Amino acid sequence: MVSERSLEVLRVIVHDYVASREPVGSKSIVDRHSFGVSAATIRNDMALLEEEELIVAPHTSSGRIPTDKGYRLFVDHLADLKPLSPAQRQAIETFLGSSVDLDDVLARTVRLLSQLTQQVALVQYPSLSQAKVRHIELVALTSTRLLTVVITDTGHVEQRIVELPVAADDDFLADVRARVNASVSGLGLDEAAARLAVFTEQFVADRRVSVAVIAATLAEQVTANRQEKLIIAGAANLVRTEGDFAGSILPVLEAVEEQVVLLRLFSEMQADEHGISISIGRENAPFGLAETSVLASGYSSAGGAVARLGVLGPTRMDYSSNIAAVRAVARYLSKSLGES
């Protein structure tokens, strides 16, 4: 059982080690923090923390560093989050507020979150497997070239250029546009793809060649939307913190590139009462990320779909500041998408 003072000693060890990347000794704790007890008393507290496997000596020096278990206890008892500065909050509102569509706002979000935390930032697209087709638009670029646009209720927009085998007039496009929206608007992506597979049958023979090309392209767009995906930014931050990894950071970089690994990790992380999910060190071993910590929060899109955003970095990270940044960005993103 860890006493309240020992827990406070653990807190300052985490804070000081995160700030300096140097093992923390009892003398430095007494010098830097107002415990009102002797260095010998602090050494006793540190010995108890070491017995509980919450801190460890990285080498023969007197200093100690937190273990994964120590970081977990620290995070679980983390009461105070460092508030974002007014400048940071203004940056979130300004940078994300000028986005033009879902793709743009998510791209901006991941870059901003990486800058705020100096970690690898991850933003998951809204759960497209549960999305529905809101509208399909066909725009004539020339008589034989079309722009096909699929818009989902999550706000995602997918565009393709289509080359038609036969020239199409405005009446033909209007007819196809009206029929395809009547067929698939409001349907889930799987059902929409199935409808598009037989859509050509609605038309007379001389129009089916062109309609088949349009329907096949739209089906590809709908199918592409069914795949879960992430946007990632700030992978270079891993290089900046390379010294925090015992071996090569290459496996971590490879895991970051493998989106399926991170999506699976996101899906298995459990949120706390504040909506924050935190997975630390060895808890990430099944995903090849045993030397990293991942912080995530959910956000909601206009269509009600829920997805996650978060950061990944070494276990030696500023949990308080990073949690505050993840929460603030997730809240603003939900608000922004809800108003779109």
Look up the CATH number of the domain holding residue 104. 3.30.450.40
Contact 123, 231 (CB under 8 A): yes
Q: Give a yes or no: residue 81 inside a domain.
A: no
Q: Give a yes or no: residue 298 inside a domain.
A: yes
Residue 18 has pLDDT above 80, yes or no: yes
Would you call 267 exposed, middle or buried from its count of C-beta atoms within 10 A (0-12, 13-18, 19+)? exposed
> Looking at residue 318, what is its pLDDT?
94
133 with 103, same domain: the answer is no
Average pLDDT for residues 96-108, to the nearest whole number? 82
Residue 127 has pLDDT above 70, yes or no: no
Contact 323, 81 (CB under 8 A): yes
Give the pair of three-digit tokens for residue 83.
Answer: 């508030």
Closest by CA to 252, choosing from 58, 77, 79, 119, is 119
**pLDDT tens across 167-186, in order?**
999 999 999 999 999 999 99
Average pLDDT for residues 257-267, to the nearest whole number? 86
Average pLDDT for residues 228-234, to the nearest whole number? 88
Lowest mean pLDDT among 128-137, 188-197, 317-326: 128-137
236 with 331, same domain: the answer is yes
> Looking at residue 105, what is its pLDDT?
87
Percent of the chain with pLDDT over 70: 95
Average pLDDT for residues 9-22, to the nearest whole number? 93
Closest by CA to 308, choosing from 192, 229, 254, 217, is 229
| Sign of CA pseudo-dihedral 287, 312, 233, 89 | positive
Cα 308 versus chain centre, distance? 5
72 with 114, same domain: the answer is no
> Looking at residue 60, what is its pLDDT?
65
Residue in the structure block whose two tokens are 């010294």: 243
Lowest mean pLDDT among 11-25, 116-130, 166-180: 116-130
User: DSSP H helical segments within the chain, as ranges?
Assistant: 4-20, 26-32, 39-51, 68-76, 86-97, 102-117, 170-184, 189-197, 205-225, 236-240, 250-257, 259-268, 319-339
**Which of the listed residues 172, 192, 225 is the one where a domain comes to its end?**
225
> Looking at residue 17, what is its pLDDT?
95
> Looking at residue 216, what is its pLDDT?
94
Distance, in Å, from the CA atom of 197 to the CA atom of 15, rounded to the nearest integer, reads 59
- Cβ-based neighbours of 75, under 8 Å, separated by 6 or more: 278, 280, 319
Residue 338 has pLDDT above 80, yes or no: no
> Looking at residue 103, what is its pLDDT?
82
* CATH classification at residue 25: 1.10.10.10
Percent of the chain with pLDDT over 90: 53
Distance, in Å, from the CA atom of 75 to the CA atom of 69, rounded to the nearest integer, reads 10
> Looking at residue 225, what is its pLDDT?
60
**Which of the listed residues 195, 225, 255 is the one where a domain comes to its end?**
225
**Which of the listed residues 225, 258, 284 is the one where a domain comes to its end?**
225
186 with 144, same domain: the answer is yes
Question: Could you tell me which residue, 110 or 39, shows the higher pLDDT?
Answer: 110
Distance, in Å, from the CA atom of 15 to the CA atom of 328, rounded to the nearest integer, reads 22
Domain residue limits at 47: 4-76
Q: Give a yes or no: residue 34 inside a domain.
A: yes
218 with 244, same domain: the answer is no
Lowest mean pLDDT among 100-104, 106-110, 206-210, 253-257: 100-104
70 with 162, same domain: the answer is no
Average pLDDT for residues 315-332, to the nearest whole number? 93
* Cross-sheet strand order for the sheet of 145-152: 133-140, 145-152, 157-163
Largest CA distance in the chain: 93
Cα 325 versus chain centre, distance? 12
Question: Could you tell me which residue, 255 or 146, shows the higher pLDDT?
Answer: 146
Question: Could you tell me which residue, 257 or 303, shows the higher pLDDT?
Answer: 257
Residue 302 has pLDDT above 80, yes or no: no
Lowest mean pLDDT among 38-52, 259-273, 307-321: 259-273
Contact 97, 143 (CB under 8 A): no
297 with 312, same domain: the answer is yes
Band (296; pLDDT cuts 50, 70, 90): very high
Question: Could you tell me which residue, 239 or 141, shows the higher pLDDT?
Answer: 141
- Into how many domains does the chain fold? 3
Number of helices (H) and strands (E) in the chain: give both, helices first. 13, 10
238 with 320, same domain: the answer is yes
Closest by CA to 336, choosing from 141, 102, 52, 43, is 102
**pLDDT tens across 40-90, in order?**
999 999 999 999 999 999 876 678 999 999 999 999 988 777 788 888 888
Distance, in Å, from the CA atom of 20 to the CA atom of 141, rounded to the nearest integer, reads 59
